């Protein structure tokens, strides 16, 4: 049963705080700028949380803050990539387990897209430029990432199954 959560948007931010992908899910025509701004403020909160815990063994950062009808949750992968979820505030109880499951699914979607060996087709071989290649994963050229993110959103029940 898909949980009754409204998944408004998801943002992936790299280890050096560059945005990889910001995707609005409920209303795809909504202006993305609002979610960029949301992601920015979340980064500050995440940094605070990480600084507070000297050794950060936990990946799931939990509820970060709430802002004008969205509640923001954060997750940091062991490789320092941050995933930020904006859920529309509802009166229903939001279970941690559901949110964690969503984060894991998004993490996997990210991993599968980044594992694409053709991302680095046009960059020279021995530059260990991890960072720029990760950024490439979210660019407009590679639709796989967006497709996978949409798939997760569909599984959550946020997107109606029939739309693209």
Residues contributing to the site for other proteins (CB under 8 A): 2-4, 6, 15, 55-59, 76-80, 98, 101-102, 104-105, 107-109, 111, 114-115, 117, 120-122, 124-126, 128, 130, 151-152, 154-158, 160-162
Place of tokens 């060996």: 117
- Closest distance between other proteins and the C-beta of residue 4, in Å? 6
Instruction: Decide whether 33 or 162 has the Cβ nearer to other proteins.
Output: 162
- Closest distance between other proteins and the C-beta of residue 39, in Å? 21
Exposed / middle / buried, residue 10 (Cβ in 10 Å: 0-12, 13-18, 19+): buried
- Closest distance between other proteins and the C-beta of residue 72, in Å? 19
Structure tokens at 146: 């967006």
Instruction: Decide whether 32 or 157 has the Cβ nearer to other proteins.
Output: 157
Looking from the CA of 48 toward its CB, the CA atoms found within 13 Å total: 6
Looking from the CA of 74 toward its CB, the CA atoms found within 13 Å total: 23
Instruction: Decide whether 33 or 141 has the Cβ nearer to other proteins.
Output: 141
Instruction: Decide whether 36 or 108 has the Cβ nearer to other proteins.
Output: 108
């Amino acid at each position: 049963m898909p949980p009754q959560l409204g998944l408004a948007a998801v943002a992936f931010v790299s280890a050096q705080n560059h945005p990889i992908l910001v995707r609005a899910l409920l209303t795809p025509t909504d202006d993305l700028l609002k979610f960029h701004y949301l992601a920015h403020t979340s980064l500050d909160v995440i940094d605070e949380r990480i600084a507070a815990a000297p050794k950060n063994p936990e990946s799931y950062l939990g509820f970060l803050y709430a802002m004008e009808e969205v509640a923001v949750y954060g997750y940091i992968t062991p490789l320092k990539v941050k995933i930020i979820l904006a859920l529309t505030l509802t009166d229903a109880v939001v279970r941690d387990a559901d949110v964690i499951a969503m984060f894991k699914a998004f993490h996997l979607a990210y991993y599968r897209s980044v594992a694409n060996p053709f991302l680095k087709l046009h960059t020279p071989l021995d530059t260990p430029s991890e960072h720029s290649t990760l950024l490439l994963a979210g660019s407009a050229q590679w639709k796989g990432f967006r497709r996978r993110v949409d798939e997760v959103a569909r599984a959550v029940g946020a997107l109606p199954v029939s739309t693209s």
